[in-house]
Amino acid sequence: MAKIVRENDRLRKIVEAFPKTTVTVLGDLVADEFVFGEISRVSREAPVLILKHRDRKIVPGGGANAIYNLADLGVTVLPVGVVGDDEPGRLLLRAFRHRRIPVSGVQKDKSYTTVTKTRIIAGFAHTAGQQVVRLDREPAEGPNSHLRRELVLATREYARASDALLVSDYGYGAATPALLNAVREKRGIDKVPVTLDSRHRMLQFSGITAATPNEAEVEEILGIRVGNDWNRLVAAGEQIVGEMKLESLLITRGKDGLVAFPRRHRAIDIPIRGSDEVADVTGAGDTVIATFTAALAAGADTEEAAHLANYAGGIVVMKRGTATVSQQELLQALDQAAPVTRPH
């Protein structure tokens, strides 16, 4: 154990420095709703299960989950986004306030519908529930011109006082390439590292320091199939780094771990930490980019930040539902195992 602690001394110092860092998050704020039901019987009307309602909870998802993860890691986080004047929006703001996360950068608008993803979880009284269906509620259109202007102004103001800017783009209009370009129109954030998690349009962003797509997203944006071909994966990663002029790229690969691409250095293959029999991957990408961003803000290089993101990802996928990793959990994980890389 003492040997592991010594090996991880540098990583521990980075994690311990999280409370000294500030990160602005420009993101699509999502309410993740979980409705739990106990399986009662099969309906006579159709071959479907009838569930007895047992519980309901709404937790931060999407960009809001990245914000929550940063807060639990001890980082001072400044969120910028939009919610509607509805129950999910109010519950998101309440959750932020409960964590003492400032909400002055979150715009509340009656014409906007808070993005809500409702997961129906079915199970028996003494068994783990299983997600059986998901219902998404989305705004008919993105934030209007007034809201976009407010998002730009808030992001610019907060980023100037931050050690990093995290952009969480789920495609709902609050974290677009155009908005980020507008944030940069006036000087002040030129030296602030910008990390990006974008579902479908990563290559449309410019001025990004680091990005954290998963393998499926890489395949989609490049129109390729990676499979188990290491050389094809490396070529894809190097292509993205070159096209976007990134300092760092992190490609997550589920049970196969993740691959880090430091600019002008060889790719680093990092196997998944812990068991590959995961409980739930919901929101794991938010945990990865939150930890990766916090580490970069605290002075980590690409490999160090990637290892910490891998530890955090290994912890959060063992939790059910949309979850976070705390600073203490990350420190405990560092005490238990040294980082590992796979040779190629």
| Catalytic positions | 286
For residue 339, the one-letter residue type is P
Query: Cα(135)–Cα(144) distance, rounded to whole angstroms?
Result: 25
Q: How many CA atoms lie within 13 A of 78 on its CB side?
A: 19
Residue-by-residue DSSP string for 231-244: HHHHHHHHHHHHHH
CB 14 within 8 A of CB 300: yes
- For 144, phi then psi, to 5°, come to -75, 180
Non-local CB neighbours of 256 within 8 Å, separated by 6+ positions? 271, 272
CB 27: neighbour CB atoms within 10 A? 26
Angle at 258 between CA 215 and CA 212, to 5 degrees: 60
Locate the DSSP E strands across the chain: 22-27, 29-42, 49-62, 76-84, 106-109, 115-123, 130-137, 164-169, 194-198, 210-211, 248-252, 258-262, 268-270
